[in-house]
Amino acid sequence: MLTRKQHELLTFIQLRLEESGISPSFEEMKEALDLKSKSGVHRLISALEERGFIRRLPNRARALEVIREPETSVTRKPKSNPLPAAVNDAASSASVVLGGKTSKPAAPANDVIELPLHGRIAAGAPIEALEGASTLPVPAALLGSGEHYALEVSGDSMVEAGILDGDYALVRRTDTARDGEIVVALVRGEEATLKYLRREKGMIRLDPANAAYDPQFYRSDEVQVQGKLAGLLRRYH
Catalytic positions, written as ranges: 157, 195
Report the candidate in 236, 91, 231 with the shortest Cα–Cα distance to residue 169: 231
Between CA 132 and CA 122 the distance in angstroms is 16
Q: Which helix (H) or strand (E) holds 119?
A: strand 112-122
Q: Which helix (H) or strand (E) holds 90?
A: helix 85-91
Between CA 73 and CA 122 the distance in angstroms is 50
Between CA 54 and CA 228 the distance in angstroms is 27
Residues 6 or more apart whose Cβ sits within 8 Å of residue 36: none
Are the beta carbons of 204 and 138 closer than 8 angstroms? Answer: no
